[in-house]
Amino acid sequence: MIAFNPLTIASDLTPELYGKYCQFIYERAGITLPNNKQTLVAGRITRRMRDLQLHSTGEYWDYVCEHEEEAQYLVDALTTNETRFFREQRHFDRLTEIAAQHTGSEPFKVWSAACSSGEEPYSVAMVLAESLGTRPWQVLGSDINCQVLEQCRLALYPINASELIPRPLLTRYCLEGVNQLKGRFTVVSELKQRVNFRQINLNTNLPMDDLFDVIFLRNVLIYFDPNTIRTVINRVVQRLKPGGYLFIGHSENLRGVSPLLQSVEPSVYRRV
């Protein structure tokens, strides 16, 4: 007979202490956590407390304050977001159109600025491989979360994550795992070589001088307050080429946020 221990979540996370965790993630990542996320935060903290053999959320808070590497772990735990291959297909149709118009010898550059576990930048890479072929192009994927960046570089995904990949692209750019990798798939090495990943915190000064033809900043602004949105957008727009495009999530809006951005269609902006 298989026995299970009760699944419990720390119940000692007081509103005052929850406020400290909220302030921490706001200062580190610019993310605003509403009151209704207290159970989610407690759940993610509880798992880590077990690993460290700590007995209260207050004890864990003290540990975070004393260990910078644990502070990054907490950022990682609180910034994991759902993503999918070819999420919001219209953006990838638009990317195909933009890439097809690219001329000149300079590489066509795309930045996936909150790439999570890599589905978005690899989707971008498939589109560019189709549109530009052997012509020079590059994709940068970045995230504040160190753990998901390791997943990006590994590029191993469950088979059911491939369901939204258009079949011709799936056949051409994806490989199914065998033996111990059965049930998973990866992307071909030719794509991996064109996609680079690095940790970037959008809430701080950006650590690169590159200019991009297209920037994907999707489904992240919903976690920011208005002041942080304005700061992040103004920072990101400086890395967008004049005439370049910014894609945000379909539920997001940048009306009045930056005079440098002109709305092309819902969730698509062009730098003037």
- Give the length of the chain: 272
SS3 263: strand
Q: What are phi and psi of 94, to 5 degrees?
A: -65, -40
Instruction: Tell me if residue 143 is catalytic.
Output: yes
In the chain, which residues fall in CATH 3.40.50.150? Answer: 89-155+190-271
pTM: 0.87
CATH number of 15-78: 1.10.155.10
Q: CB-hemisphere CA count at 13 Å for 163?
A: 4
- Considering 28, 94, 143, 213, which one is annotated as catalytic? 143
The residues, ordered by sequence, that sit 6+ positions from 124 with a Cβ below 8 Å of its Cβ are 92, 95, 110, 112, 139, 216
pLDDT, residue 3, reads: 44
In the chain, which residues fall in CATH 1.10.155.10? Answer: 15-78
Q: Give me the architecture of the 89-155+190-271 domain, per CATH.
A: 3-Layer(aba) Sandwich (3.40)
The residues, ordered by sequence, that sit 6+ positions from 163 with a Cβ below 8 Å of its Cβ are none
Instruction: Tell me if residue 213 is catalytic.
Output: no
Q: 37: burial class by Cβ within 10 Å (0-12, 13-18, 19+)?
A: middle
- Considering 44, 172, 235, 270, which one is annotated as catalytic? 44
Per-residue pLDDT of the chain (272 residues; tens, 9 = 90+): 444 344 455 568 888 999 999 999 999 888 888 888 888 888 888 888 888 999 899 999 999 999 999 999 999 888 867 789 999 999 999 999 999 999 888 999 999 999 999 999 999 999 999 999 889 999 999 999 999 999 999 999 999 999 999 999 999 999 999 999 999 999 999 999 999 999 999 999 999 899 999 999 999 998 899 999 999 999 999 999 999 999 999 989 999 999 999 999 999 999 99
